[in-house]
Structure 1
Amino acid sequence: MQNQEKEFVPIYIFGKRYDVPEELTIQKAMEFSGYQFIRSCGCRGGICGACLTEYRIPGDYRLKVVLACQSLIEPEMLITQSPFVPVNRAQYELERLKNQPAILGKIYPEIYRCLQCNTCTRVCPMEIEVMDYVAHAIRGDVAGAATLSFQCIQCGACASKCPAEISQPQVALLARRIYGRHVLSVPESLYQRIAEIENGQYDKTLEKLTQLSTEELMKVYTQREQEPQESQTWVPKFPHFPEESL
């Protein structure tokens, strides 16, 4: 079977034209064009937020914000990247913080400057309701801010466009830290698992895992059960996996 010839399309990276195969992601198209990623590249799976990219299509007034590893190229697109977005990173001791009213506003008072323009939500590549979790933070609702911001990958797109100069990712991170440390109760199963580890229950399993090849480890990894994201009652079918499979 003969290979079909690849169709090439023009794109512009930092203002310079390159012809690249269609159906590539922006990240792969940049590498095809000769760019070597030292920064602006991490997981390549849409999780780390390192490949924040902006582009515009000629004739379209909208500036689009995406992750280069997750977005396909479009003909004639004009591409630039934001390798790092400086944010206001407050200093605090989590153990001294409590879930008290206005705690987020005390540490990040700039949240009260929010104009409710919704720019942060529009540019979020994860489609998070950023303005909504900032509103929860303003009201002192730590749980609400933590829950709505759970999918944040800290790319900084919202902070880079905010006219009120709010560092939304850092506000969200603080909310999740307070929520996890001071609001959520510690499940009994966690103490049970810690005791099992300290008693050496998993030592033999770990020793066997270290002796597996990369291919064998990948097989064990892909066979694992994954807990559903929205589940309060999920119980694994094989609670002692991977012990019984080794």
Structure 2
Amino acid sequence: MTNAATPNSGTESSIEITVNGSRLSVSAHHSLIQALWKTGHPNFKSASCLEGVCGSCRIMVKYGDQSAVNMALACQSKVEAGMQVIFPQYLEKESTTLLNHRYLLQPSSESGEQLKTVFPEAADCRHCHGCTVACPKGIDVEQGITLINEGKLTAAGDLFINCVMCDLCTTSCPENIAPNYVALFARRTTAVNQTTPPNLADRLQALQRGELTIKY
């Protein structure tokens, strides 16, 4: 009787995937980023922490014969045969409104009005749900924008607490809203308007008056 050949444990099986329109043969059992590195693509700029925290390696991915296109993080996505991947580019500076979102926060009860001035496009949300579907962290982005438009900035800020600023919600928005930056405004506003502890306020005032000395 002839024994079946034992696969070489040092040999990795390969599968075919499509990345940005190019077919690649990659090693199985790896994350997408690892597989790309092993096939000679070490300089993918859309990779940073590799822990699923920074959100910089966002991808659009379609599996096999499925019609749905999902949003995910390349460092957290295991390669599968037939998967199709696109690394979306950041919006060009000429087409983005982010450069116009400049503001100086001060403790005020008019934060809602300031938001309307800085992010007027937030009111144009058409509730298409695209931003929520795009979010790799499972945040209900659309609900967050609704809360912000209702002036509920604290609740909106809490909803976006796990946001990694990957911009996928921005790239998916047909109204050119940048939900992650709108939410960041809400969180910053909430922090600015919170009561400063008396002992901290005293030390800050002493520092401004030049009365706070530091001994080494």
TM-score (norm 1): 0.71
Equivalent pair of 1:46/1:67 in contact (CA under 8 Å): yes
Equivalent pair of 2:107/2:192 in contact (CA under 8 Å): no
CA distance 1:130–1:3, shift in 2 (3 Å) = same
CA distance 1:110–1:31, shift in 2 (3 Å) = same
In structure 1, what is the equivalent of residue 83 of structure 2?
77
In structure 2, what is the equivalent of residue 64 of structure 1?
70
Counterparts in 2 of 1:23-102, with a 5 A limit? Answer: 23-37=29-43, 39-86=45-92, 87-89=96-98, 90-95=101-106, 98=109, 100-102=111-113
Q: What stretches of structure 1 of length at least 5 have no aligned partner?
A: 204-246
CA distance 1:102–1:37, shift in 2 (3 Å) = same
Q: For residues 28 and 60 of structure 2, what CA distance do their matches in structure 1 show?
A: 19
Task: Give, as a single letter, the amino acid of the residue that structure 1 aligns with 2:67.
Answer: Y
Work out which structure has the larger RCO, using CA pairs closer than 8 Å and 6 or more positions apart in sequence.
2
Q: For residues 180 and 42 of structure 1, what CA distance do their matches in structure 2 show?
A: 28
- 2:155 aligns to what SS in structure 1? helix
In structure 2, what is the equivalent of residue 18 of structure 1?
24
Instruction: State the shift of 1:106 in Å.
Output: 2.4
Q: What stretches of structure 2 of length at least 5 have no aligned partner?
A: 1-7, 205-212
Q: 1:151 aligns with which of 137, 162, 183?
A: 162
Q: For residues 99 and 23 of structure 1, what CA distance do their matches in structure 2 show?
A: 53
TM-score (norm 2): 0.80
Instruction: State the shift of 1:9 in Å.
Output: 1.5
- 1:179 aligns to what SS in structure 2? helix
Equivalent pair of 1:88/1:170 in contact (CA under 8 Å): no
CA distance 1:141–1:44, shift in 2 (3 Å) = same
In structure 2, what is the equivalent of residue 186 of structure 1?
196
Instruction: State the shift of 1:105 in Å.
Output: 2.2
Q: 2:152 aligns with which of 130, 133, 141?
A: 141
Instruction: State the shift of 1:99 in Å.
Output: 5.1
Equivalent pair of 1:159/1:169 in contact (CA under 8 Å): yes
After TM superposition, the structure 1 stretch with the greater mean CA deviation from structure 2, 172-181 or 51-60, is 51-60
Is 1:105 the counterpart of 2:116? The answer is: yes
Superposed CA offset, 1:140-166 (max 9, x none): 111011111111111111111112221
